[in-house]
Amino acid sequence: MHTEKVNIAIVDDHTLFRQGLAHLLTESNEINVLFDADNGADMIKKLPLYPLPDVILMDITMPVMDGYESTKWIKANHPGINVLALSMFEEDKPIIGMLKSGAGGYMLKQSKAGDLVSAIKGIAKQSIYINELVSGKLLRNIQNNQPAKNTPIGLNPNELKFLELCCSDLTYKQIADMMNLSPHTIDNYREALFQKFEVKSRTGLVISALKNELIKI
């Protein structure tokens, strides 16, 4: 069985690493390195000069235009190209950051060549390549990402009605009329909700209500 070679580009500011890697990958006979670049800006400049790569290997820390920005640019301008982050860092922050920026996978520079080739082939075919390193961090990220979320806030029916009407172009005066209550009473509801949601403005209140899925628009 024969499969097309995967066309890739390498973006990394360490010239020796970049070129060594290019040789190494070319030797595998499954990967074709179209071009390499010093940083994101260099990549943008070179991209039109070659066929579009299937995968771009992307370093994170680079001068001029770093990996996060470069990845965002790629996904905005060539969403079909898959970005595989390739970095020395195994901390949560760069990993989550690159994935959020749009990378489809994350490999360490200390990986074995064979593993990198598999990752490149995997990401070329399925757009994403998740390994052990990444999956745990991903999970912890979404689990921690909801800090104050599971604090069910007790609202009485009137407060809830008021909250709904708040999510509109109406003034408090108009809301008071619609609820057949004095504007001062509405004031009390507002104060109470500001405290419960820990906000200081109607806009903050609306955003919180939507985030907590108390109100649907």
Is residue 151 close enough to count as binding DNA by CB under 7 A?
Answer: no
Name the segment binding its own copies (CB under 8 A); options: 41-49, 53-61, 162-170, 184-192: 162-170
For 200, list phi and psi in degrees, rounded to 5.
-125, 0
Starting from the edge strand earliest in sequence, which strands make up the sheet with 6-11, in order?
31-37, 6-11, 55-58, 82-87, 105-108
Q: Do residues 185 and 173 lie in contact, with contact meaning Cβ atoms separated by under 8 Å?
A: no
Is residue 19 close enough to count as binding DNA by CB under 7 A?
Answer: no
Q: Which of 89, 127, 124, 81 is nearest to 107 (CA)?
A: 89
Tell me which of DNA, its own copies, none is bound by residue 182, counting a contact when its beta carbon lies within the kind-specific cut-off of 5 to 8 angstroms: DNA
Is residue 200 close enough to count as binding DNA by CB under 7 A?
Answer: yes
Structural tokens at position 151: 């604090």
Name residues contacting its own copies, limited to 76-135 (CB under 8 A). 76, 96, 99-100, 102, 104, 128, 130, 134-135
Tell me which of its own copies, DNA, none is bound by residue 206, counting a contact when its beta carbon lies within the kind-specific cut-off of 5 to 8 angstroms: its own copies
**Amino acid letter, 31:** I
Residue 201, judged by CB atoms within 10 A of its CB (0-12, 13-18, 19+), counts as exposed
Taking the complex as a whole, how short is the minimal distance between the CB of residue 43 and DNA, in angstroms? 25
Tell me which H or E stretch contains 124.
helix 113-126
Q: Which is nearer to its own copies, 35 or 197 (CB)?
A: 197
Q: Determine the Cα–Cα distance for residues 111 and 127; give it in Å rounded to an integer.
A: 20
Is residue 67 close enough to count as binding its own copies by CB under 8 A?
Answer: no
Name the segment binding DNA (CB under 7 A); options: 44-52, 80-88, 124-132, 168-176: 168-176
Chain residues in the site for its own copies (CB under 8 A): 72, 76, 96, 99-100, 102, 104, 128, 130, 134-136, 138-139, 141-143, 145-146, 149-150, 166-169, 171, 199-204, 206-207, 210-211, 217
